[in-house]
Structure 1
């Protein structure tokens, strides 16, 4: 899954959303905090400017009354005002009962210039949230100070942060799911093309990409792909026709040559040397006719794509007969053939002659490329399939040519010394496909090969 384009694009889209969401979160929280703090600072500065003007125009008692009224108006628990001498004594202040742990101005205020505002934020033991303080030195050297508890605003900011974080998480999850869904649908046409290509790879040459008229680009791709498949199918059909015509044209003269050779063989004046040569000629004609017949059989199976003359076949008996047929050949080579079939007969709808020929070709192939060990023929039925397994301990098949062994006339380097046409496995493949099955291969050079003929289990 991790390699699919939809997954990678969704992951990329999700990462971008995460980065964007983190940026939005920090920008929003910082902007909100700064905006709130600026409002607090403006509020403190306006209040302190008014008090400074009143201090310059009135005496301390009236200023104390102003502090008291301003503190009550703003809330004595939330805000305080005080006037401090240069030696840090309180001249006058609002009610500081709730601000008992408020410290005197620190040393950094000693160099504070007259009229210059100084902002600071401190934490008090009695409060859970910071206190914002504005300090101004008056022309007479005294210090005018006002402070506000950021508690309510801080709680509001915390709630805002929580809501914003939850909203961004929801947007992230929703956006990722939506993006994945959109990508999944957008690439649906590509999947249809891929599925059709896989069917073509499984020799379903009639498969075509369905046109759904949902996206013009995908439909154009599907139409171009289908046109290419139609052209390829036409070329393959023409090639098969040419091959079949050549095979038919060759079969007739070869048959006539064989007939002439047989006639020469039975003539009384034919010498022993001529009889030997004629016998070789007849044998080679038979082999050539067999090759031609095999080519025609493969072409017919591939053209029809299904089995003719089907009947109920006892695969258990078929495997048993095949093993008995090849046991003498195996003994001559010093090999052993083992049979593993269940006690209950396994039945299949098919053509017994074709199935017997496919099984014989695989066993014969195993005998040709095994010099020692055991050839095992087993039969089992499971998960809706019937499997015929032929395993040997021979030379094995190199990995790089395993995908080619079912092609017509293909012979590996190790096959050159063995007599054959390179059509045996091609015929096996065509027969099994015509029965709706497949041929699986597991092989490792030096350890042997394992052919599995897999058939769909159909009701008998």
Structure 2
């Protein structure tokens, strides 16, 4: 049990983040202190060297002015007055034999006899004479005097080593709480940074438990985790909308399928009861075929919409004269419009060709005109207008029908959606879904605007992939046909 809990902790992202943060913090702090120690040691070493060389040149000048006697008097006076810092001073003869030496009592652990046998250092270099206990070093600078004598001045590193040792203890004392702060800070920051991830996990668990309305809280900071939460919430909203749409679609399909299936069943039952009447049986079979065709039309339309939305719909692209296609569509629905005393007109420019699937565009125009005639009252007007705009073919179908509310406009492209006013009309609720799917399969788009009681405008925008424009003469008016 303990091993399992330890493995779980070790595999947790928060633990690894805290560990990495702590390691980086401790390493950075240790590197900073190491750099500070190096700079301090370098500064103290340079300071000692400068003081040694300054003292060396001072005594050399004194020796040249007053000889050895004057140097001794100066040192004796400084000793009585206790002025300056302690230095090791040695004057040697031409054969490196000691003529004069002065060393503070606390530096007695240095073996000065080794200087008489030691080779002379290069100019500017220091001789390092270790103490007998190897705890300190006597750093000595040398200078040749005019009478072939040698002047040496040195200083012990004991004071410098003491300062560096004290600094090391201070660093050690500071590092311990810094390590603790680093570990605690890493754990706090890791837990705080991963809070949105934990909230995301909690939301997923809530959804698994059936709370489909659960969403990830957004902190409104604007960082990547906020963006992840918003994307996740958007995905959940989309999924929820799709699920609701599927439920509505299934309800509508069940409702729309129940009527023709019930009719087929009723017709079949009547045919079975009317024994010995061939004419009645043939009429029953004809009715069954008609109802079956309606079911097949619904299923085929649903398949076409699905293929168009998934990009698998096969389009037979050919050059299409859009003016002729619109004129044919208007002519097809002219008789139905006249029955309702509706004025159906078309306004097109000179013939413009575009690459499209002729039959699919006919389906699109047929659905739009059929809807416009259905929902336009007697004496109304429907106008089809086409024009070019920035390499796009724009087709507008305008009617003076009953119009739609803003809420209905957002739903008319959904499969099997039928508004309140369309319940009394025959239809499958798939026409506008097919329109949108086919237009988007042509890399175009479709828009709708409407005012309740005033009418609607459906606008198709199709790219002119292939264009062979033949402009009309300047004196000719636009081709206006009223049917």
**What TM-score results when the alignment is normalised by the length of structure 2?**
0.44
Higher relative contact order (CA 8 A, sep 6+): 2
Question: TM-score, normalised to structure 1's length?
Answer: 0.46
Computing the radius of gyration from Cα coordinates, the structure with the larger value is 2
